[in-house]
Structure 1
């Protein structure tokens, strides 16, 4: 099974182009599992993108994080993730789901976008919406997601038009469910501060980093910075740095011309033994064993 890397820039904005053929959408099946995932980390790491995202769980159970909240989904459940929100997914067992990403501007015409889409995208009280399959609107959305997935897979005649119709149908059902919209400036500021701290870490992870550096990037005190990371990541800021360095090292370990020691120093560790210890703690294997396995199985996508 080929491994998927969710590629992001220094702001955690996903670089993957969510385009399928000529339409600004992507609809695909994804598997997250500790044992047999099609993602390089075994889960989908924290990232964000301008596209809105719909998730429909086909099998198993998954844990989806949106901003600082965690949502458990099981077979038959669905989730809407709003544009620009930090999110990730993992599973303690295994989870297979369909993921539909679509540009908000593609859902309706520009005239209708300003009335029926933009207010929902900008609302700070809607980082996500649980799709309630006990209600008709929820069933309609999940059925339409699966039909879009089939259209892309089977490509019947004029299926692009059918997809466009289904997207409008999905959005109509979502906004008809009666959500009240709010815009709270402090919530938007909090989201931007988190992105600012992550952006700084991802730019300077190869250098020496202190807690004061990270707090300064978010315009926060050191204690408030720690509270932010505990809420969003369930870890301290400096442990996040270590975790990020380990993840960056996975890319380098896929190359046969880098030794473990060279990789350790390139991602910001000043001790090979400490790098190996932290790698084993996070990845449950050693860097050398991981590198050998990857090189024997061929490069990842």
Structure 2
């Protein structure tokens, strides 16, 4: 059972849940403004393990800090940024022997309501898929720093439409962070790609040689001596598509060739390229090409004015 307590420290009310300090937006953010921006130095008094009901982004402009989450420590240096979703316990410790400067940005998710996509929720709101460090460099780092400095200025001066200006910059910041985060796994997989290059080339050749048959994913990854998850991730990085997407695309391309170059019926083509149901084949073909197999067969090679 969760224990909740309140303490008054230096005249300020603090909330705790099971000994972990909780920061609430209603106390931390200005009234009717669902975001907050600030600068932090190495004089920042660490609250120890804590959590908050809002998204927190910290960007290291200068110096070093240690960010601890799920018992793992991450050294954050200039150009590094971390994102903490709501209600995730973490702690930050400054290195006293370094001159440190942090730009902090905190916001409630509804501030950018309607702008969410799967990637945003994956990185910013999902504790189970938490990524605790994003490293910027070069032009991207300069963009991030300029965005945060501009947001901080808008927040402090609160000129006309400052909320809209901050929201626009925040969306840009999120986009840059997602782009960098999505690029990082590719670099991490380079070693895997090199190690498994021959295996993946063999898998691709097997698919092209046997696409007409009933190819089972389970048989493929077991033959490659990999787990399903490892194989699927590697295949997606190698081809840009999932195993099933790649197989269906190949079968559809082959069906298009056959519809143009043979007198086979739509049904015969369907089964010849490995589809088991004509309805499924027709639906996937139209999704892929925008037209039905019959329309494609009749009109793909027709000259304008003669095919209608």
The TM-score normalised by the length of structure 1 is 0.48
Higher relative contact order (CA 8 A, sep 6+): 1
The TM-score normalised by the length of structure 2 is 0.47
Larger Rg: 2
